[in-house]
Amino acid sequence: GAGVSQSPSNKVTEKGKDVELRCDPISGHTALYWYRQRLGQGLEFLIYFQGNSAPDKSGLPSDRFSAERTGESVSTLTIQRTQQEDSAVYLCASSPQGRQLGTPLHFGNGTRLTVT
């Protein structure tokens, strides 16, 4: 079956521009997560959705970052006024359940964002 799909796979943007990253989770998965992987660093948690609500957005680095989810499906991560330190791979994951996480996360292939 289809896995988690992310688009675009690569994005190069100029400093100061806004970007939107898209995630299509596995159908029926109620929980959705965004993580960031910067070069040489471990994955960092950004935000968690349960359905269309985000009970935990504590990992968003600044108010330039926002995310939404609609139809308990697609999610969009938006970065406004991009900075060079935003360059990273942004990974989306989904799971059938959020709290009481007893099942593995399914990750997409990520979007590699480069800010020049």
Partner 1 sequence: KQEVTQIPAALSVPEGENLVLNCSFTDSAIYNLQWFRQDPGKGLTSLLLIQSSQREQTSGRLNASLDKSSGRSTLYIAASQPGDSATYLCAVSGSGGSNYKLTFGKGTLLTVNP
Q: Which residue has the tokens 């680095």?
A: 61
Of the candidates 21, 39, 23, the residue with the CA atom closest to the CA atom of residue 31: 23
In the list 7, 13, 56, 64, the residue contacting partner 1 (rule: CB under 8 A) is: 56
Residue closer to partner 1 (CB basis): 48 or 65 = 48
Tokens (6 digits) for 56: 């935990």
Note whether 52 and 69 are within 8 A (CB).
yes
Helix (H, G, I), strand (E, B) or coil at 33: strand
Part in contact with partner 1 (CB under 8 A); list of ranges 12-20, 37-45, 62-70, 76-84: 37-45
The site for partner 1, by CB under 8 A, has a size of 28
Interacting residues with partner 1 (CB under 8 A): 4, 6, 31, 33, 35, 40-43, 45, 48, 56, 91, 93, 98-110, 112
